[in-house]
Structure 1
Amino acid sequence: MPTVFISHSICSFPVIASLLTELEILNSEIGRLTLSSALVLDITGTAVTGIATSMVVSSNKGLEAYIINVGGLIALFVIILTIGRPLMKLVVRHTQQGRPVKKIFIYIIVFLVIIFGLMETELVQPFFGGAVMLGLAVPEGPPLGSELVKQLQLFSTWFLMPLFVTSCIMKVDLDLWNMNKNLVMIIFGLIIMVTLVKILLCVGICQFCSMPIIDSICIALILSCKGVVDICAYILLYDAKRYTSGEVSIMVISGLILATISKIGVKSLYDPSRKYAGYQKRNILYLKPNTELRVVACVHKPCHIVPVRNSLDLFSPTPTNPLVVDVLHLMELIGRTSPIFISHRNQQMSVGSSHHNFSGEIIVTFSLYEHEYAGAATVNAYTAISPFTFMHDDICYLAMDKVASFIILPFHLRWRDDGTVESDNNNIRTLNIKVMEKAPCSIGILVNRGSCTSISSSYVVAMIFLGGSDDREALCLAKRSAKELNNHLFVYRLVGPDSETTNWDSMLDAEVLRGVQGTYGRLENVTFEQITIDDPSQITSFLNDVVTKFDYIIVGRRHGVKSPITSAMVNWTEFPELGVIGDLLASPDMETKASILVVQQQQMPTKW
C-alpha cells in the first residue's frame, strides 16, 4: 500500500513533457508552468524516494550498509553536479560555434551512462537512475545536447523503446477476475483517493494564486498523467518482488486510464489559441494619429537580419509617430525538453554560453537602428527556443502581450543574386501559415528578392491596390512610408472594366484612397495611377513592366476576397499565403530584386 501511494503521488517529467508535446501546448502558459512544476516535483520525488529506499533496504543490513548506500547515492549526485557538468561545459566551450562535438566525447558520455547505471544498481537503486542524473547534467541545446539527441534518438526511440514497452507489458496479467476481489477494490480505491486528493490540492493551490478554474483543472489533470516511465517503475518493483502479478496489472491499467482521462480532459477544456482572439482592433488602419506603432519582427537566420531591419524603415518612425519594435529571434528546440524565452534587455548574456550568444548579431544590428532613430524608435530583443510545431504560440503571445499592431514574418524561400532559389524551408512556411490563422493583429510576410541586403537611406516603394480589407491595411502602411520625404511612393489602383462603386467595400476603398488621389492634397513624393485591367493576363504584363523600378512592393493578401480580375489565376497560385499578386511577384519567373511585403489585416473572430 505505501508503494502504491508513493507511485501515484509523484509525477514524471518526461511523461509530462511528452503529453504537452502531443497536446501541442508546450509553449502555452499552462505548458510552461506545468513543465516547471513537473521538473521540480520529479527531482524532489526522485531524490526523496531514492534516499528513503536506501534507508529502508539498508536498515536490516547494519550501519555499514546504511552508510554505503545512502552516502554513495549522495556522493554520486555531488560528483555528477560538481565534476561531470563542469567538464561537459568545458567541452562545449572548446567546440567551435556551428561545428559538432567530437565523437569521442559522445562515446565517453554513453560509457558513463552504463557505469553510473551499474553504480546505481550496487546502491540498491534502479539502473536508469544514474542515466537520468547524468542526462540532467548535460548542457542543453547545441552543440552537446543536440548531438546526443541526433546520435541516440532514432535508435532509442524507434527501436529500443517499442521492445522495452513490449517486454514490460508481457509481464502483466490482465485477468483480474481470478484475483482477490477485495484486494482489487482496495488498490483501485487507494489509487482513486490519491489521485483525487492530488487534483484537489493542485486546483486549490492554483485558485490561491488567482488562476482560472479551467486552467487549474487542466494543470491538475496533466500532473496526474502516467506514462512509459511509470510503467517502467512498476515493472522494476515487480521484478524486485514488491508487486505481485495482479498488483502490477492494476497499476498498469490505472496508468492507462489516467493517461486517457488526462489527454481527453485537457484537449476538451483548454484551447491555447482562444486567448489570441479578441474584438479589439489591432492594425495600422485603425491606429489613432500621433500614437506609437508596435511591431513584432521575427528573425530565423542571419540572412533575415538586414532585410527585416530595412523593412522597419517603411514605418517612418518620428518623435510624433514613434515606433516600438520587439525583435524575436526564433530558434528550433534541439537537445533539450523545455522551451525557453529570453528577454535580452532584462537578462545579460554570458560569454561562451552554449545557447545565449547566437542572438548577439541581432542585438547589435537593432541597437544601432534604435540609436539611428533616437527618440523615434525603441527596440527590445527576445529569443525563443521551441519546436517549430509550437513556435507560433511564442509569436502570437508576444504580439498579444506587447499590444502589437503588426507582425513581420520572413518568407521561407531564399534567393541567390542571379534570381534562382537557394534554399526552401517548409518549417518556416508552416509556421507563417499558423501565425496568419491565429495572430491577434495584422501580419506582413516579407519576401526578400535581394535588393535590400544593405542599409539604405531612401527607398522607391510601390503599392498595388485592388480593394478589400487587406489592401486597405497595406495602403495605410505604404502611406506611412511616404512620411519620410526621401522615400517615393507609387500607388497603382487596378480596376476591372465594370467594377462596382456602390457596395460598402468599394466605398471604404475610395475613402482610404482619397489621401493619395489628391482630395486632401498630393504629396510631392507620392504618385497615384489608376489602371484598367480588361483581361487577367494584363496583370502579369503590368507587373513585368514595373517590378524592376522599385525597392519595395507592398500588396494585400486579399484573403477571402473574390475578384473577377484575379479569379482566373487563383487555381495557379503556388503559395496561397501570399495571395494571387504576392505569389506572382514571388515567383522565380518574375525577374525582380524588389522586396515584397504581403499584408493581411487582423482577422476578427466571428464567434468564440
Structure 2
Amino acid sequence: MNLNANETMFLSITEVDEMKQRYLVCLDAPPHIVSDGLWRGSSQNTRTPIRSFLPLFELQVLLIFALTQICRLLLMPFKVPLFISQMMAGLILQALFAGEPLGSYMKVLFPYGTHDTITTVTSMGFVLFIFINGVQMDFSLITRMGKRAWTIAIMGLVVPIFTAVSMLAVFRYPLLDVVKDNYNNFVVALVSHTIISFAVTASLLNELQIQNSELGKLALSAALVSDVLCTFATTVGGVFLFCETSGSEEIIRNLLGLFAMGIFVPLVCRPVMFWIVRNTPEGRPVKDGYVYVIIVLLFMLGWASVKINQEFALGAFILGLAVPEGPPLGSALVKKLNFFGTTFLLPIFITICMLKADFSSTYSSTSVFTACVVIILTHLVKIIACTLPALYCNMPFRDALALSLILNTKGVVEIGLYCFLYDYKIIDGLTYGIMILSIIVVACTVQWSVRFLYDPSRKYAGYQKRNIMNLRPWSELRMLVCIHKPNQISSMIDMVDLFCPTAESPIAVDALHLIELVGRTLPIFIPHRIQRQESGIQHRSYSDDVILAFDIYEHEKPGAVSAYPCTAVSPLNLMYEDVCNLAFDKVASIIILPFHQRWSVDGEVEMDEKSIRALNCRVLEIAPCSVGILVSRAWQRMREETSIRLGLIYLGGEDDEEALCIAKRAMMKKGMKLVVYHLVYEAEKDWDEREEELEEMKNRNENNIRYQQIVAKEGSETAAFLNEVAKEHDFFIVGRRHGIDSPQTQGLTNWSEFTELGVIGDFLASPDLESRASILVVQQQFALKPRKTCLF
C-alpha cells in the first residue's frame, strides 16, 4: 500500500515495516473536528473542510444516502430485499474508487483515516437495530411454542451444523490443499452460514407482507427459538475462540463476566422495567427520563461486552430481550430509536461493510469454487432439514418448501457478523468477499422463490356458498364482527341484534378486537374464552370492554346467542389476514366491518381512519364469505327503540339478494317495519319470484312490510328519491352491487367518494343528506378471482 500524506488525514506518514505494512503516522492533537469554513484562507493553521473530520463525515453520509436511494428506486421493480440496494451502493463506490478520473476525487472525499470514523459512528445503527429487534421479541413465547416450531427450529439448526462440520472433517486434507492456512477461518465462516436470525426473518416477512399469515407466524416462532439458541452457542464459543491463546484464567474471567451479565439483566433490569410499566398511567407515554436511562444502559452493556471479548451488539441484544415488549415501554423505545438507528445509520453501515470487501485482488479460482460448493451444499442440507419436519406435520409441500427457504434467508445480521469476523481477522479477505456476495444471492433467491411458492389467499379458493342466502332455514348463523375502538361495541351489538337471534334460529358471533402491533414483531391472536377456561381466572387485557359487553349480551339472550370474543394484535396493513383467517376457520356466513368514518351528533366527522378503510377494501377483495360494512350513527341505539323503520334499496343482483335475505331475518324482530324500494327503469307488473316471499313476509308480519316500486331512468332521479326517503328510516340495508352497472345509477358513480360502499350506500352515507339512519352495505361472497375494490 502506497500512502501519500496529502491523501490522508495525517500530517506525515513514515513506513516502519514493509512486509507487515506498518506505518508511523503523525496527527494533530487535538484533531481537526470542525472546519473554519471555506473563506478563512489557506494558511497552514486553518482548519479547512477537506482536512476536518465532521465536514468530511457529513459529505460521506450525504453521498452514501443519495446512492442508496437511487439504487432503491432502480431495484424496486425487481422485488429485491431493501438492504440489497444499500449493498449495491457499496459496489458502486468501489467502482468509483477504481476508475479514473473519479478515483482521485473519491480519495479526497474518503481519505485514509476517516474510514474508522464513519465505521464507528454507523456501527451504532447496527447495535440499535439489534436492540430494537430484541425489544420486539416476545421472549416468553419460547415456553409457549408448539412442538412444530421447536422441531423445525432445532432440526434446521442442528442438522446443517453437524453436516457442515462432518463434511469439513472428512474432507479436511483436500480442503487444506485448496484453502491452505485459512482452513480454520473457513470453518468459522461456514458454520456461521447455518444460523437462523429472527431479525432477518422478520424483515423478509415484512417485505413479503406475510408475517401475519399462518406460514409467517410459524416462521417467526421457529426463528425466535433458533436465534436464541444460536446466540447462546456462538457467545460461549466466542469466549474460547478469542481466549485460546490467553490461557485458562482469561477464559474463566470472560465466562464469569458473561454469566454476570446474563444474571444482572433478567433479574435486575427486567423487574425495574416492569416497575416503570406499572407506574405509567394507562394510555400515557413513558417518561423520557426512563427511556434515556435505558439507552445509556444499552451502551454500558455494550462496553462490558467488549471487555469480555464479545461483540458490542451482544449487550444490546440481551438488554432488548429484557425489555417488556409492546406498549408502553417497548413501543416508546422503538419509536425513539427506529428512525435514527434503522432508517438513518443502518443503511450507511451496510454500505461501508460492502465497501470493505476487496474484489480487486486475484484469488485462486479453485478456492472460490470450493467455497461456493460448500456454501451451496450447506444451504441444501438446511432446506431439507427444515422441509422434512414441516411435511411430517402435514404441511403442503409448497408451503413447507417456502418455510425452509424463509429460514435460509440472509440479511443485515449476517453482514454485521461477517464484518465483525473480518475486522478481528478471524476470516480473511477472500472468505469475507465470498460471504458478502453469497448474502446477495441467497437473499434475492429466497425472496423471489417465496413470492412464487406461497399465496396466503390460496386457501380461500373453492369454498363457495358461505353467505346468508344459501344458509339452511332455522340453522345457526355464524357471524364475525370486527371492532377497532370501544365506541364501536354498541353499534356492533345492535347489528347482531338486527339479525334477530332466537332459540330456534341461534347466532354464533365471533367478536374480533383488532389492535395495531406496536413495539413487538410477533403477531398475537388471543381467544379469550379458551384463555379464561385454561387459566381459571380472567386476566386484564385491552379487550376487557369487548369481552364484558358481549358476555352481557350473551346472558341477555340465553340459548339464542353464543359470543366468542378474541383479540388480534397485528400490523395495520395485515389485519385483513386475521379477519379472513378467523372467518374461514369459523365457517362464518358474513363479516361485519365498521366504516372508517364516525360522525358526531351535529353531523361532523369526528373520526376518519384511513387504515380501517384500507382494511375494509382488502377484506372485500379476498373474504371467504359475505361482507357487510356498517355505517353507524354515533347517537343511535337500535336495541332501545320500540319501533325501527327499516328501508331496503333493491336494484337486482347477488348483493341485493343477500341484502333481502338479511331484511327477511330482521323482520322476525318485534317492532320492525320494512319498506322495500324497488328501483326499476320502467314500471313492472310484478316482482318475479320475490313476490311470493314478500307475500309470505306480509302474512307473517301483518302490515309491517311494504313494497314500493320506484321508476328511475337515470342517476339524478335516483338521487332525488334517496334524498326524500333518507330521513324517513332509522336503518338502511343496501347491496354493494359489485361490478354491476344499471341506468338507475348512471352518473352517480362519478360522484362516489367511497367505492367500498357502492353507489347507493355512498350516497346515503353522505353528510349532505343530514340523515340519522345507519346503513349496512352488503357484498355477497363470490367465487371469482379477487378484484380491486378501492382506488386511492
Q: Determine whether 1:273 maps to 2:451.
A: no
Return 291-300 or 65-74, whichever deviates more: 65-74
1:224 aligns to what? Answer: 408
Is the contact made by 2:713 and 2:743 (CA closer than 8 Å) also made in structure 1? no
Match of 1:537 among 716, 723, 726: 716
**Off by >3 Å, runs of 4+ in structure 1:** 348-351, 498-501, 517-522
1:67 aligns to what? Answer: 252
1:334 aligns to what? Answer: 518
Is the contact made by 1:400 and 1:440 (CA closer than 8 Å) also made in structure 2? yes
1:510 aligns to what? Answer: 688
Cα deviation, residue 102, structure 1: 0.3
Pick closer, same or farther for the CA change 1:350–1:141 going to 2, 3 Å.
farther
Cα deviation, residue 606, structure 1: 5.5
Q: Determine whether 1:33 maps to 2:218.
A: yes
Return 536-545 or 32-41, whichever deviates more: 536-545
Q: Determine whether 1:450 maps to 2:634.
A: yes
2:31 aligns to what? Answer: none
Q: Distance in 1 between matches of 2:696 and 2:214?
A: 49
Match of 1:343 among 518, 524, 527: 527
Q: Distance in 1 between matches of 2:591 and 2:287?
A: 40
Q: Determine whether 1:46 maps to 2:242.
A: no
Cα deviation, residue 338, structure 1: 1.1
Cα deviation, residue 221, structure 1: 0.4
2:726 aligns to what? Answer: 547
Match of 1:359 among 501, 520, 543: 543
Is the contact made by 2:716 and 2:748 (CA closer than 8 Å) also made in structure 1? no
Residues 266-345 of structure 1 correspond to what in structure 2 (within 5 A)?
Answer: 266-345=450-529
Q: Determine whether 1:523 maps to 2:704.
A: no
Q: Determine whether 1:207 maps to 2:386.
A: no
Cα deviation, residue 96, structure 1: 0.9
Is the contact made by 2:596 and 2:613 (CA closer than 8 Å) also made in structure 1? yes
Is the contact made by 2:714 and 2:743 (CA closer than 8 Å) also made in structure 1? no
Is the contact made by 2:291 and 2:333 (CA closer than 8 Å) also made in structure 1? yes
Cα deviation, residue 520, structure 1: 7.6
TM-score of the aligned structures, taking structure 2 as reference length: 0.73
Q: Which amino acid aligns with 2:770?
A: E
1:505 aligns to what? Answer: none
SS across alignment from 2:357: coil
Q: Distance in 1 between matches of 2:564 and 2:299?
A: 46
Cα deviation, residue 356, structure 1: 5.8
SS across alignment from 1:115: helix
1:141 aligns to what? Answer: 326
Q: Determine whether 1:465 maps to 2:640.
A: no
Pick closer, same or farther for the CA change 1:123–1:295 going to 2, 3 Å.
same
Return 53-62 or 395-404, whichever deviates more: 53-62
Cα deviation, residue 261, structure 1: 0.7
Q: Distance in 2 between matches of 1:10 and 1:511?
A: 66
CA offsets 1:299-344 (integer angstroms, 9 cap, x no match): 0011211111111111100111110000000011111111111111
Cα deviation, residue 348, structure 1: 3.9
Is the contact made by 1:218 and 1:265 (CA closer than 8 Å) also made in structure 2? yes
Residues 147-158 of structure 1 correspond to what in structure 2 (within 5 A)?
Answer: 147-158=332-343
Is the contact made by 1:101 and 1:143 (CA closer than 8 Å) also made in structure 2? yes
Q: Distance in 2 between matches of 1:148 and 1:488?
A: 55
Q: Distance in 2 between matches of 1:412 and 1:479?
A: 27
Pick closer, same or farther for the CA change 1:143–1:125 going to 2, 3 Å.
same
Residues 63-462 of structure 1 correspond to what in structure 2 (within 5 A)?
Answer: 63-175=248-360, 178-348=362-532, 357-453=541-637, 455-456=639-640, 458=642, 459-462=644-647
Cα deviation, residue 538, structure 1: 2.4
Identity of aligned residues (%): 46
SS across alignment from 1:423: strand
Return 512-521 or 390-399, whichever deviates more: 512-521
Q: Which amino acid aligns with 2:249?
A: E
Q: Distance in 2 between matches of 1:480 and 1:175?
A: 76
Is the contact made by 2:698 and 2:705 (CA closer than 8 Å) also made in structure 1? no
Cα deviation, residue 62, structure 1: 2.7
Q: Distance in 1 between matches of 2:604 and 2:533?
A: 38
CA offsets 1:398-426 (integer angstroms, 9 cap, x no match): 00000000000000111111112112111
Q: Distance in 2 between matches of 1:594 and 1:280?
A: 32
Cα deviation, residue 122, structure 1: 0.9
Q: Distance in 2 between matches of 1:582 and 1:233?
A: 56
Q: Determine whether 1:8 maps to 2:187.
A: no
Looking at CA atoms only, which structure, 1 or 2, has the larger radius of gyration? Answer: 2
2:134 aligns to what? Answer: none
Q: Distance in 2 between matches of 1:606 and 1:185?
A: 46
Pick closer, same or farther for the CA change 1:60–1:244 going to 2, 3 Å.
closer
Q: Distance in 2 between matches of 1:174 and 1:410?
A: 57
Q: Distance in 1 between matches of 2:653 and 2:465?
A: 17
Is the contact made by 2:714 and 2:746 (CA closer than 8 Å) also made in structure 1? no
Is the contact made by 2:480 and 2:509 (CA closer than 8 Å) also made in structure 1? yes
Is the contact made by 2:595 and 2:630 (CA closer than 8 Å) also made in structure 1? yes
Is the contact made by 1:277 and 1:438 (CA closer than 8 Å) also made in structure 2? no
Is the contact made by 1:276 and 1:400 (CA closer than 8 Å) also made in structure 2? yes
SS across alignment from 1:463: strand
Q: Distance in 2 between matches of 1:15 and 1:500?
A: 67
Return 224-233 or 452-461, whichever deviates more: 452-461
Pick closer, same or farther for the CA change 1:383–1:229 going to 2, 3 Å.
same
Q: Which amino acid aligns with 2:568?
A: A
1:504 aligns to what? Answer: none
Cα deviation, residue 167, structure 1: 1.4
Q: Distance in 2 between matches of 1:389 and 1:429?
A: 11
Q: Distance in 1 between matches of 2:233 and 2:378?
A: 18
Q: Distance in 1 between matches of 2:473 and 2:199?
A: 51
Q: Unmatched 5+ residue regions in structure 2?
A: 1-185, 788-792
Q: Which amino acid aligns with 2:661?
A: C
Pick closer, same or farther for the CA change 1:518–1:528 going to 2, 3 Å.
farther
1:506 aligns to what? Answer: none
Is the contact made by 2:464 and 2:781 (CA closer than 8 Å) also made in structure 1? no
Q: Which amino acid aligns with 2:350?
A: V
Return 538-547 or 305-314, whichever deviates more: 538-547
CA offsets 1:88-135 (integer angstroms, 9 cap, x no match): 111111111110000001101110110111111111111111111111
Pick closer, same or farther for the CA change 1:469–1:179 going to 2, 3 Å.
same
Pick closer, same or farther for the CA change 1:583–1:499 going to 2, 3 Å.
farther
Q: Distance in 2 between matches of 1:145 and 1:556?
A: 44
Is the contact made by 2:655 and 2:736 (CA closer than 8 Å) also made in structure 1? yes
CA offsets 1:124-171 (integer angstroms, 9 cap, x no match): 111111111111221111111111121111111221112211211110
Cα deviation, residue 276, structure 1: 1.8
Is the contact made by 2:683 and 2:711 (CA closer than 8 Å) also made in structure 1? no
Cα deviation, residue 519, structure 1: 8.3
Return 432-441 or 558-567, whichever deviates more: 558-567
Match of 1:483 among 654, 665, 668: 668
SS across alignment from 1:345: helix
Q: CA RMSD in A?
A: 2.1
Q: Which amino acid aligns with 2:197?
A: S
Pick closer, same or farther for the CA change 1:350–1:75 going to 2, 3 Å.
farther
SS across alignment from 1:60: coil
The size of the alignment, in residue pairs, is 597
Q: Which amino acid aligns with 1:399?
A: A
Q: Which amino acid aligns with 2:198?
A: F
Q: Determine whether 1:20 maps to 2:205.
A: yes
SS across alignment from 1:357: coil
Which gives a bigger RCO, structure 1 or 2 (Cα 8 Å, sep 6+)?
A: 1
Match of 2:783 among 593, 604, 608: 604
Cα deviation, residue 28, structure 1: 0.7
